Structure 1
Amino acid sequence: MNLPLNLRIIAVVSAMLALFQLPSLALAWHLGEPVAPAAWTLVINLTLSLLYLPSRKASFANLQARDGVVAVILGWLVMIVLGALPYYLSGTLRGMDALFESASGFTTTGSTILADIEALPQGLLLWRSTSQWIGGMGILLLAVAILPYLGVGGAQIMKAEMPGFRKDRLTPRIADSARILWGIYVGLTALCALAYWLAGMNALEAVHHAFTTISIGGFSPKNASMGAYNPGIQWCAILFMVLAGVNYLLYFQLLFQREWRSLRDEELQWYGIIILVGSLFCTLEAFASTAANNPHDALLHGLFQAVSLVTNTGFANVDWETWPLYVQIILLTIAITGAMSGSTTGGIKIVRAIVLFKVLFAVINRMLTQERVIAVKINGKRIPSELLDSVMALGFAMTLIVAAATILLTALHLDLATAFSATLATLINVGPGIGLVGPMENFSAIPDPGKLLLIVLMVIGRLEVFTVFILFVPHFWKPDAILR
């Protein structure tokens, strides 16, 4: 274990959280709400940031990939624990519930314990939304700094999952790449907030929803989520959810390199197809139900829910659990797929789903033609066999996790629909499920051991599974271990 690095990670994360705590503290003070919980949280974060001092002279020139993986997991756990303090110190939530809400925020899952969200103080609500925005920033850094060494993300994602398999990362330096990604992220957030405000939201709620839309988190300060707002606002949400689910490298290529051929990217095309097909089924059902009084409402409800689920945002403008079971299954299926790689979405990502299907058909073709080599291509370029292995292993690992977690939750006397959908909702970071954890319900009915399990699933899903699992491989801890 690299103690100086770990101390620095704790210090930097604490300082960052202290900085982001200031707006919610200022809002609470401005509105005359109790400021002690936020103030104490700020003091604790600032105190922990002093841990930077013992590590300030340490040299990190020879850091190993192992150190980076451990640092990322430690950083995420520190965020979750410290992020739970405002909920706990305010008396709003007890310990396990506070950890659950915090984990759901920072992992951009969007599942909630709260039955009456609007009863929370405004300062605490702002912190809740801010946690998702911070989580989205962390995901982008994870994509360029750590996952390359695990074979299924980071530079590997940039090289093998993003358009054309052309680039290892945006720029040669990780810090420069992170700044570019964050710049795009902040720009989209500002545009989203402006659009919400122009469509009729007040300024504070526009900021709330911009944070949770662009991060693909799905938290809302309203009990009815996006269903509390007018159709114009909901159309804005659809637009920015779609934009948030696009590969950020595409934005870089279009805005800075003028590579218009990126619009022909295979993953982008499938992203559009999945949205259209999912929307078609949802719209037809919404039109047939009493929830929509006219074709416009049917289209709005159907398109909104399809986009919300495929991007893993988790917003709701209608209780889609009242729709037929086959539509619910379609929604959960596209949620598992997720949006595009290189975005803040959860799920397995569309490009991996494409790879899995192409491997399936290639194997069938080999059985029929006796070909010995499986050639799988994305955007006309062949995928390396080691990446095929990684993608298939990821799919298998997620299947095992879902099965095991569902069994454990049913052992806690939850019904199968609730246990299965709660597992999926947290592992793929989408938020709502069905049954007791449906789109208009919450996770308060889950027993504490189940909540702890779901917290673990949120972190595993957010860190792309292998980032966590690799810790349990003995060879990972050997001095001569090499991650590619």
Structure 2
Amino acid sequence: MTIVQSYTIVLHLLSKLLKLFCFVLLLPAVFSVFAKEFFFCGWAFVVSTFISYMFSVILSRIVKRPEDAPEVITIREGAIMVFLSWVCVIFLSALPYTFARVLTFDRALFESVSGWTTTGLTVMPDIDSACKTILLWRSITQFLGGAGFAIIVMGAIIGPTGFGLYHAEGRVDNIVPNVRRSARIIMIIYLSYALAGAIALWLSGLNLFDAVNHSLTALATGGFSTRNDSIAAFNNLAAEVVLIILMFLGATSFGIHYAFWQRNWTALKKNSEPKQMIFLILVSSTLILISASNDQNFANLGLRTILFQVVSALTGTGFSTTDLKSWTTFHVGHFVLVILMLLGGCMDSTSGGIKQYRLTVLGKTLHASFKKFFLPRGSVFDVEIWKGTTKKYLDADLIREAFLVSSLYILTYVVGSTALMLQGYSLEESMFEFASALAGVGLSCGVTNYHMPKSTLWTLMVGMFLGRLEFLVVIYALSKMAKDILHSIFGE
């Protein structure tokens, strides 16, 4: 396939995605009519929809899919498609904030990146007084970003042959060997949990609007709230219990959910990721509780608050029930939350971070190396690793991917934290805030706010974007596009 054919396919599919994205942009506009906010902010979504539609029309007129183009989307096209679709959708999603005069464009772009990457860091100056339509839009971006908007939409457009696109967004495990069916199953599971969560939150005492929004963002492990004080504003134990369940469900892989729905008890028993998460939650909560009881400044922190913050950090959600600005002086609690944020939830979930699956691969590799050292030379044995409903075996590819992504996470984290320190923030603030951005969490110790410098804004945005797409797709897409541009200019 020639370079021209390759990009023609990518841009043709991108035009289709943007046309479908218009329907997403119209959802808040329709809501604004019923909320009586159309002339305040609803119209901004109509204008944004028009821009998105015109962009898609221009693309479709410029490029048409070649008749002799192959049906299968390769990793090459998949990576470039995922990268371009994320950039376009993030850019277009920022427009309503700017048109409605809620945020300047650079701050709107930050809010959009934070939404689609399911991070939850916010620069909204006053959430309590914001239009409900804008708040709903923030929740929608996180909900769709968690499911993988490009995968869901392109699964419908491309059909069953788009494995390259599925793999390019960092999803290791097709739930079923068909992208369209996998996308459909993901959305059925996702929507069912969201509906159940909204009902449970409503029954716990939240109003319907708050219940729907927090169900969407909890399941997406996003963390956007409809209140300035996040979950602390409600002071509702029942709601916190529901949210803990939703956060844990969101951080559990879609493959494990599918195994549960299929009553595949063997697969559920063999998957180690949820067990590792529960272990980390229990150990971390105990450690912070003991440390807090020995610190007079934090002795009033109860198990309820600590458990919620630990789950919020590990799952990558970012809801808070306490003021985390003071935790920079609570060294044990601060350090534990940073580690939990970086580790993250399950692979193929809405959670961020390095992921429990990669930790399992690295741990089993270390164990196998020790085991092999004490066995007779030439001994061969297989190491099982379960991923969703699939049994895999430890091999060079799994080890290489786990080591590479983990190394890139650590390297990027060090560079990003250092960049924040050079901008005048303390070591504790820099470590916490960049871990939150890179792992797509959203907890903040006060660095992220409407008035932060543009350098900080862009540092955190880059961290959020790289962390969500897990580095490799961004590196691969940019290197391929740069190579193709140079090739088209200078030839062989």
Determine helix, strand or coil for the equivalent of 1:378: strand
Equivalent residue of 1:192, what SS?
helix
2:24 is the counterpart of 1:45? no
Deviations 1:186-243 (Å, cap 9, x if unpaired)?
1111111111111111111111111101111000010110111111111111111111
2:70 equivalent in structure 1: 61
**What are the superposed Cα offsets for residues 432-479 of structure 1, whole Å, 9 maximum, x if unpaired?**
243x33xxxx34353213322322221111111111112354699579
SS in 1 for 2:222: coil
| Per-residue Cα deviation, 1:329-381 (whole angstroms, up to 9, x for no partner) | 11111111111112110001111112223334555666788978897553596
Structure 2 alignment gaps of length 5 or more: 156-161, 486-492
**Deviation, structure 1 residue 122:** 1.1
Segment drifting more, 407-416 vs 72-81: 407-416
1:72-130 CA-partner distances (Å, limit 9, x unpaired): 00000011100000111111111211100000000101111123211211111111111
Is 2:474 the partner of 1:468? yes
Counterpart for residue 108 of structure 2: 98
Residue 126 of structure 2, aligned match among 116, 119, 130 = 116
Q: 1:248 to 1:41 in 2, by over 3 A?
A: same
The 1:105/1:239 distance shift into structure 2, 3 A limit, reads same
Change (3 A) 1:118 1:58: farther
Secondary structure (helix, strand or coil) at the match of 2:434 reads helix
Alpha-carbon deviation of 1:408? 2.7
Structure 2 counterpart of 1:163 = none
Q: Which amino acid aligns with 1:39?
A: V
Q: 2:411 aligns with which of 400, 413, 425?
A: 400
Find the counterpart in structure 2 of residue 221 from structure 1.
Answer: 226
TM-score of the aligned structures, taking structure 1 as reference length: 0.85
- Pairing partner for 1:208 from 202, 208, 213: 213
Partner residue, 1:164: none
Q: Distance in 1 between matches of 2:74 and 2:140?
A: 32
Change (3 A) 1:29 1:390: same
Are 2:328 and 1:319 aligned? no
Q: Which residue of 2 aligns with 1:198?
A: 203
Mapped contact 1:101–1:112 kept (Cα < 8 A): yes
C-alpha contact (below 8 Å) 2:198/2:214 kept by paired residues? yes
Counterpart in the other structure of 2:32: 28
Q: Is 2:93 aligned against 1:83?
A: yes
Partner of residue 181 from structure 2, selected from 153, 163, 176: 176
Deviation at 1:137, TM superposition (A): 2.0
Change in 2 beyond 3 A, CA 1:352/1:414: same
Q: Using a 3 Å threshold, how does the CA distance of structure 1 residues 467 and 357 change in structure 2: closer, same or farther?
A: same
Residue matched to 1:187: 192
1:187-336 equivalences under 5 Å are: 187-229=192-234, 230-284=236-290, 298-323=302-327, 324-336=330-342
CA contact (8 A) 1:283 1:301 kept: no
Q: Is residue 97–residue 103 contact of structure 2 (8 Å, CA) maintained in 1?
A: yes
- 1:430 aligns with 441
Q: Give the Cα separation in 1 of the matches to 2:76 and 2:371.
A: 40
C-alpha contact 1:250 1:262 (8 A) present in aligned 2? yes
The unaligned stretches of length 5 or more in structure 1 are 159-168, 480-484
Aligned residues: 458
Distance (Å, rounded) in 2 between the aligned partners of 1:273 and 1:339:
12
Counterparts in 2 of 1:147 and 1:370: CA distance versus 1, 3 Å: farther
Instruction: Quote the residue 1:5 is aligned against.
Output: 9
Q: Give the RMSD, CA atoms, in angstroms.
A: 3.0
1:130 alignment partner, one of 119, 140, 158: 140
1:162 is matched with which residue?
none
Partner of 1:70: 80
Query: What is the aligned partner in structure 2 of residue 337 from structure 1?
Result: 343
More moved, 452-461 vs 283-292: 283-292
2:190 alignment partner AA? Y
Conserved? CA contact 2:259–2:267, under 8 Å: no
In the superposition, relative to structure 1, how do residues 300 and 12 fare at CA in structure 2: closer, same or farther (>3 Å)? farther
State the secondary structure of the residue aligned to 2:402. Answer: helix
Q: TM-score, normalised by structure 2?
A: 0.84
Task: Please identify, of 424-433 and 104-113, the stretch whose mean Cα deviation from structure 2 is larger.
Answer: 424-433
CA separation of 1:66/1:192 partners in 2, compared to 1, >3 Å: closer, same or farther? Answer: same
Q: Structure 1 residues 238 and 282 mapped into 2: Cα distance closer, same or farther (>3 Å)?
A: farther
Quote the Cα distance in structure 2 between the aligned partners of 1:87 and 1:97: 9
**Counterpart secondary structure, 1:195:** helix
Q: How many Å separate the matches in 2 of 1:253 and 1:476?
A: 41
Tell me by how many angstroms 1:38 deviates: 2.0
Q: Classify 1:402/1:370 alpha carbon distance in 2 versus 1 (closer, same or farther; 3 Å).
A: farther
In percent, how many aligned pairs have the same letter? 27
Q: Is the 8 A contact 1:5 1:71 kept in 2?
A: no
Equivalent pair of 2:432/2:444 in contact (CA under 8 Å): yes
Per-residue CA distance 1:401-434 (angstroms, 9 max, x = gap): 1222233333333333333333221111111243
Q: Which amino acid letter does the alignment assign opposite residue 135 of structure 2? A: L
